[in-house]
Amino acid sequence: MATDGIDMDGRVLRAVSNDGDGTVSDATTFRFEQERDLIQARYEGGEIRRGFLVGRSDGETLDFRYTHLTVEGETATGRSVDVVDRLPDGRVRLHEEWSWDSKEGSGTSVLEEIDGEDGDPTDHKPHPMPQPSSRMNEERFMRRAIELAREAAERGDNPFGSVLVHDGEIVMEDSNRVATEDDIRRHPELTLARLAVRELDPEIRSETTMYTSTEPCPMCAGGMVYAGFDRVVYATSGPEIAAFTGHDPGVRAAEILDGVTEVEGPFCHEAALALHESVW
């Protein structure tokens, strides 16, 4: 996105949002703050209830790598994947991927965009709709992870919590204890991965899902490679937390766990985001 999309008071005038059915429309304006080359933004007004963006700038161009919107109970997450090519007039063609999540299910779409001009999704692929009972269970597991995160914050640790689920039951749970135990390893995801390797058979671990209030950091995802869980489902993403903490991990959990564990999220996002907004 070229810098002429920004006016002097620090407002980006255009943002792309996914409406949940594969269509793409203009969102509203958002105000951004820049610290060095990291841009963090909050969407304002319009139909968007919550939203923010994480990106980078070299002073001439903006590279928005992650966008998150919540609109009327639906969550849309966008990521500018690549600059496909540069046009003769200097504009660039971008390839963007969007995913959405609502009570009815999930889906993805791909947007080809020319430098701030909306395009049409070229490929909208709805995911299978989860069964209501399964969905309710998943919400229960994630809300327990978020509650553990809240308990961690109340005792002076960072607000992160995780549970391990096998065959519809929570078999292990933990929360962040880095501050109270003075141990940088005491992230809940890494602790549960370590305990699972020690106490659960590989076959059981391969059928296990971790529900975690926040996307695992690179350290935790690295440990989870050895655990070999079936899935990990997070409520808030690493780039989202970077918007609060100013620390960008740089590597996503899905990259580290590729081919080992399926990574899904965000899920139950509003409750987790509200917790982080109250803590940071």
pLDDT of residue 219: 95
pLDDT of residue 135: 65
Contact between 72 and 49 under an 8 Å Cβ cutoff? The reply is yes
pLDDT of residue 153: 94
DSSP 93-108: EEEEEEEEEETTEEEE
Structure tokens at 173: 């749970």
pLDDT of residue 243: 81
Interatomic CA distance for residues 277 and 211, integer angstroms: 20
pLDDT of residue 76: 54
Q: What does each C-alpha distance from 114 to 3, 66, 95, 111, 145 come to in angstroms? A: 14, 17, 9, 10, 40
Candidate list 96, 113, 189, 240, residue with the active-site label: 189
Instruction: Provide Rg for the chain, Cα atoms.
Output: 19
Domain boundaries, the chain: 3-126, 132-279
Residues 6+ apart with CB under 8 A from 9: none
This model's pTM is above 0.75? no
CA angle 156, 193, 249 (to 5 degrees): 60
Mean pLDDT of the chain: 69
pLDDT of residue 277: 87
Structure tokens at 55: 């990106």
DSSP the chain: -BGGGB-TTSEE---EEE-SSS-EEE---EEEEEETTEEEEEE-STT-SEEEEEEEE-SSBEEEEEEEEEETTEEEEEEEEEEEEE-TTS-EEEEEEEEEEETTEEEEEEEEEETTB---EEEEEEPPPPPHHHHHHHHHHHHHHHHHHHHHHHTTS-S-EEEEEETTEEEEEEE--TTTTT-TT--HHHHHHHHHHHHS-HHHHTTEEEEEEEPPPHHHHHHHHHHT-SEEEEEE-HHHHHHHHS----S-HHHHSTTTSEEE---SHHHHHHHHHHH-
pLDDT of residue 147: 94
Interatomic CA distance for residues 222 and 196, integer angstroms: 14
User: Span 132-279: which CATH code?
Assistant: 3.40.140.10
Positions of the chain with pLDDT lower than 50, given as ranges = 1-66, 71-72, 79-82, 109, 111, 113-133
Residues 9-35 as b/e (b if ≥16 CB within 10 A, e otherwise) read: eeebeebbbbbbebebeebbbbebeee
pLDDT of residue 46: 39
pLDDT of residue 103: 52
Q: What does each C-alpha distance from 140 to 133, 147, 165, 170, 217 come to in angstroms? A: 11, 10, 11, 10, 23
Phi and psi at residue 256, in whole multiples of 5°? Answer: -75, -40
Examine the residue annotation and report whether 189 is marked as an active-site residue of this protein. yes
